[in-house]
Amino acid sequence: MTNHVPEATKPASGDYAWLGTEAGSVADLMYMLNTEDWYDAINSRFVSELLDDTLPESILKAYLIQDFKFYNNGMMARLIKLAPRQETKDMLAAQSQWFADNEATYFEHFLEAYHVSQEEYDATEPTPANKEYGAYLDSLSDKSWPELITAICCMEWLYLAWAKRTVDADVIQQVPAHKGWVDLHEGAHFRRWVGDLISLVNEYCSIDGPEAEVFRTIVHLERRFFDDSYPQE
């Protein structure tokens, strides 16, 4: 029996100083302006049930199918193209390859292990929140580098935040699909990746720029995406 994973604590400035979000930094200020949705997202029913190994298979399948379609939306290619320095392009390209080697492989193995046919994959309808999220990400295609780097930073940082709950509790999931999803979003590699993104946000972004609204919108849509995983009563 997997032990229960406690909820994360209420957000506070400097929570992620170990990633580069020292109190007063741009990333920390964005985080602190969105604490309610952030807290609700990383402690959502979906996340808690996944970490506790109690998530219904049907909910997991529908969620991951929709998430996999997000994976193919082309945001990384746009980020690499707009990156202001060659070393940043190289870092993003290396991470893009890591996604191809690890996250895409996880999805493929999941679809096979759970016997998801092409017909089921194609027939899985996006939830209202997922549809809105996808449309929002598409709308970022012609936005600036600060807006795009803020979007990807927020998404990856929030995933690290919920996965960190199980590491803090010293709990290892027994369902392979659950453990695999956690492992993709916690650990030395993923922490370094999120830290690199936060560093870029601190360098290129402003709390007074449009990227602050991007951060707010991403956190809000992530929370709704988790909540929308369950049939609405």
222 is annotated as an active-site residue: yes
What pLDDT does residue 62 have?
92
Residue 2 has pLDDT above 70, yes or no: no
Q: Do 160 and 185 meet the contact criterion of CB atoms below 8 Å apart?
A: yes
Residue 95 has pLDDT above 60, yes or no: yes
What pLDDT does residue 73 have?
66
First to last CA, the chain: 30
What pLDDT does residue 3 have?
81
Interval 144-169: pLDDT, tens: 999 999 999 999 999 999 999 999 99
Q: Please state the rounded mean pLDDT for residues 53-70.
A: 92
Rounded CA gap, 150 and 210, in Å?
A: 10
Q: What is the CA radius of gyration of the chain?
A: 17
For each of the domains in the chain, give its residue range(s) and CATH number, in order of start.
17-227 (1.20.910.10)
Q: Count CB-CB contacts under 10 A for residue 189.
A: 12
Rounded CA gap, 167 and 177, in Å?
A: 17
**Secondary structure, 3-state, 140-174:** HHHCCHHHHHHHHHHHHHHHHHHHHHHHHCCCCCC
Q: Which of 49, 147, 186, 222 is catalytic?
A: 222
State CA 20 to chain mean position distance. Answer: 18
* pTM (2 d.p.): 0.96
Residue 229 has pLDDT above 70, yes or no: yes
Rounded CA gap, 66 and 46, in Å?
A: 14
Sequence ranges of the binding site for substrate: 67, 103, 156
Interval 171-228: pLDDT, tens: 999 999 999 999 999 999 999 999 999 999 999 999 999 999 999 999 999 999 999 9
